[in-house]
Structure 1
Amino acid sequence: MRYDFARINDRRNSSSFKWDGLAASYGPIDDAIPMWVADMDFASPPEVVEALQKRARHGIFGYSFRPDSYLEAITDWLERRHQWRIDPAWIAHSPDVIAALSILIETFTKQGDKIIYQAPVYNFARIIENQGRIAVNNPLRYAHDDYTYTMDLDGLEAMLELDQTFTMLILCSPHNPIGRVWQREELERLGRICVKYNLLVVSDEIHCDLVHEGNKHIPISSISAELAAHSFTCIAPSKTFNLLSMHAAAVIIPNEALRAQYNQALKRLGLDSPNTFGSIALETAYREGEGWLNELLIYLKGNIQLITEFFEARIPQIRIIQPEGTYLIWLDCSELERSCADLELFFAHKARVILQPGLSFGEEGAGFMRMNAACPRSVLEEAMRRIEAALQEIRD
């Protein structure tokens, strides 16, 4: 490989929430391995680092704008990686995807409106409620026999038939934490339902480039022209290239009237000016980072295979929900028969491996933990050994 994903990068004392924020949540834990926060322990592509260093050496950081090449980098990337050709005029901006979700909710719904999300899922309910809206769950369906998830589209349609006052649905695609890459047929039916009941669809597609072999990401706005007129597709290079602190994201809005409303909201909030380093990072990653990403996906495949084989052979009480995308592993720990609080403390204090508790993704996450596999393989192997040893200790 051209890029070194096996290298261990010391992230301590860098204001890393994942590493330096541990003590605030768990207290001091000697030699803990943090696998909770969804960023990677790999260095970002050297092409991006070099571009940022070059700009920093210029030494002047006055007001800037996004050049046409910035928009071209986004459109070229979407066509090359996802076979989705868009008009550059459809691209709106945001500091990050979470900010985009908040702005879209504030702009296109009213206080007290009901907004649908699908748990277990990243913190959509909190984002909805922070805007004074009502978060209503259309939970995903979990099949215990084969450890897979599907959308409950029958339940969604029944909900909307009974109550037609819903205004928006927020989709996670690919899905965090379960790792589903939704198939075209699923998204087509979801789209027909949302169009039928006049729901706006906001799709968080921040993990869209992290799709594993045999799966294909379908942007929600590419499904049909009718759905595109009702939808917002939120993307960023941040998860793909480990650029989360760069704060550069895009919202694809094909509907001209909706796009104008969104852009007006950005101006009202004073968020329409770019971050110079974020703009450089996005453009360079999309133009020059594809080789790095291709090698990353190969490395992640090996990590996921290691985790799967280890748990199947050595810790069969913990079941893997096999990810189709993302670098996140959703672990069904229900056979350990421990309370949610005990489960979190067991991994943190007995195994000294910090995982994200399933309950942080909604009550449907009870008995689950989320593991971040985006780390050097040697670190992953040590984490597996620690978990096995800790489980053996409580058995003895």
Structure 2
Amino acid sequence: MSTYNFDKVIDRRGTGALKLEALQPRYGNAHLLPLWVADMDFETPHFITDALRRRLEHSLFGYTVEPPDYRPTIIRWINEHHHWDVRPEWLAYIPGIVKGIGMAINVFLRPDEKVVIQPPVYHPFRLTPEGNDREVVYNPLLPLEDGRYAMDLDGLDRLLDADPKCRMLLLSNPHNPAGIVWSPETLRRLADICHRRGVLVISDEIHADMTLYGHRHTPFAIVSDAAAACSITFGAPSKTFNIAGIVSSYAIVPNDTLRRRFYRWLSANELDEPTLFAPIATIAAYRYGEPWRRAMLSYVEANIDYLIDYFARHLPAIRPLRPEASFLVWLDCRGLNLDHDALIDLFVRRAHLALNDGQMFGPGGEGYMRINVGTPRAILSEALERLRRAVDSQ
């Protein structure tokens, strides 16, 4: 079995990496330590780069067809990891999950119909509907005493009763930024509420394969017949295997009526045709990736433990929420008693760190920051030391 070196620091300068190239325009400083964009700083595993390299040896890159083992490989992975028996016809390639959300909005919603989101939540859930001229309606998560969140399902019930123009709900499952693995009971009740009113649920499950500390992901569509009937699921190997630049997303639609409408539109616009390298990377990831995935998650868990212990010892005013999934940690910085601008100043100007500020995730995110711990321990340690020095010097 291969030994993977997650401590190796990779110099990403000169590769067009978003987390580096966008520092100057977004933060005003190109020299920050970047722990914001949700891709990891670990090398893409060799079994994926080897598969891509073999294809590159044949230097003719014309039109291609979907490989015959593309869907069976995805189906086998989902069945083994999430106990969902996906049929081949339910699957289609899509050119990115955020793009898929935009596509679904344009296929299923009239111009006057609205999208419900549950903030604090991944910011494209707000930006994508708004950019497509749809009104976004908030049904905020309920903060719990332990720092976690619950869905306000009673509030959602009332909201949908009061506003029949709400026709789509975007679900982050597992949740980004808080790393919550939603329970089957929560998802089942959500499905009942939405199905009863004809609300389409778009379930973003890109972090499904990154559950931590023994937690298990539940696909929304398997919790009930109602969930399968009212949902479209988006998934990808990109977060797990660090191949976000190789657009490798897919949709799963069990309901015949929804599937025909959505996939006919995708096909008419040739949006369901994968680029040359996407199936190659997906097949390699799902066929050979389980040992790497387990080793990577173990390293991420150790990074999270390190971070939580560091804050408890040196920065107790900042309370990290231990995630149940993914490499993103939600930091409650309200104990610093800083307003939004002062908090950004602390992290960016004083600590020279680039994180995502909580306000961008919508109501309830004020006073929080999101940090990416999918990075070598030395980089994480340096980031925490910078932050400690900045707080101590206030």
CA contact (8 A) 1:205 1:235 kept: yes
Aligned to 1:312: 312
Which 4+ stretches in 1 moved above 6 angstroms?
none
**Share of identical aligned residues, percent?**
39
Offset, 1:272: 2.8
Q: State the AA in 1 paired with 2:126.
A: A
Contact 1:14 1:20 (8 Å CA) reproduced:
no
- 1:161-184 deviation per Cα after TM superposition (whole angstroms, max 9, x unaligned): 222332111100011111101011
Task: Decide whether the 8 Å contact of 1:344 with 1:355 is kept in 2.
Answer: no
Q: Which residue in the other structure is 1:336 paired with? A: 336
State how 1:290-309 maps to structure 2 within 5 Å.
290-309=290-309
Residues 314-371 of structure 1, C-alpha deviations (whole Å, 9 max, x = no match): 1010011111111000001111111212211211121112111111111321100000
For 1:354-395, what per-residue CA distance to the aligned partner results, in whole angstroms no more than 9, with x for missing partners?
11111111132110000000000111111111111111111x
Find the aligned partners of 2:329 and 2:226 in 1 and give their Cα distance. 34
- 1:217 alignment partner AA: H
What CA distance in whole angstroms lies between the structure 1 residues aligned with 2:73 and 2:41? 26
Q: State the 1:274 CA deviation.
A: 1.6
SS at structure 2 position matched to 1:381: helix
Give the partner amino acid of 1:19. L
Please tell me whether the aligned partners of residues 29 and 352 of structure 1 are also in contact (alpha carbons under 8 angstroms): no
Q: Distance in 2 between matches of 1:115 and 1:45?
A: 37
Deviation at 1:148, TM superposition (A): 1.2
Corresponding residue for residue 139 of structure 1 = 140
Counterpart Cα distance in 2 of 1:363 and 1:196: 27
2:345 corresponds to 1:353: no
Is 1:49 the counterpart of 2:60? The answer is: no
- Return the alpha-carbon distance in structure 2 between the equivalents of residues 26 and 195 of structure 1: 42
Tell me, yes or no, if structure 1 residue 71 matches structure 2 residue 76. Answer: no
CA distance in 2, matches of 1:295, 1:322: 19
| Mapping 1:6-155, distance limit 5 Å | 6-28=7-29, 30=31, 32-122=32-122, 123-143=124-144, 145-155=145-155
Q: SS of the residue aligned with 1:301? A: helix
1:29: Cα distance to partner? 5.0
Decide whether the 8 Å contact of 1:188 with 1:223 is kept in 2. yes
- Give the distance between the partners of 1:357 and 1:243, measured in 2 at CA: 24
CA distance in 2, matches of 1:100, 1:29: 31
Q: Identify the range of structure 1 (69-78 vs 127-136) with the bigger mean alpha-carbon deviation.
A: 127-136
The residue identity in structure 2 corresponding to 1:155 is G
- TM-score, normalised by the number of residues in structure 1: 0.97
Q: What is the CA–CA distance in structure 2 between the aligned matches of 1:67 and 1:118, rounded to whole Å? A: 38
| SS of structure 2 residue aligned to 1:68 | coil
8 A contact 2:358–2:368 mirrored in 1: yes
- Counterpart position of 1:247: 247
Give the Cα–Cα distance (whole angstroms) in 1 for the partners of residues 272 and 370 of structure 2. 35
**C-alpha RMSD of the superposition:** 1.2
Q: What is aligned with 1:187? A: 187
User: Does the Cα contact within 8 Å between 1:29 and 1:349 map onto a contact in 2?
Assistant: no
SS in 2 for 1:177: coil
For 1:5, what is the secondary structure of its paired residue?
A: coil
The AA in structure 2 aligned to 1:229 is A
The Cα offsets for residues 41-93 of structure 1, whole Å up to 9 and x where unpaired, read as 00111100100011111101010111220000110010111111111111022
In terms of mean alpha carbon deviation, does 258-267 or 198-207 score higher? Answer: 258-267
Runs of 5+ consecutive residues of structure 2 not aligned to the other structure: none
Distance of 1:29 and 1:58 partners within structure 2: 38
Counterpart residue identity of residue 134, structure 2: R
> Which position in structure 2 is the counterpart of 1:362?
362
How far residue 134 of structure 1 moved from its aligned partner, in angstroms, is 1.1
**Mapped pair 1:197 → 2:197:** yes
The separation in 2 between residues aligned to 1:361 and 1:13, in whole angstroms, is: 30
Structure 2: distance between partners of 1:29 and 1:358? 21
Query: How far is 1:96 from its partner?
Result: 0.9
1:4 aligned partner: 5
TM-score by length of 2: 0.97
Matched length: 392
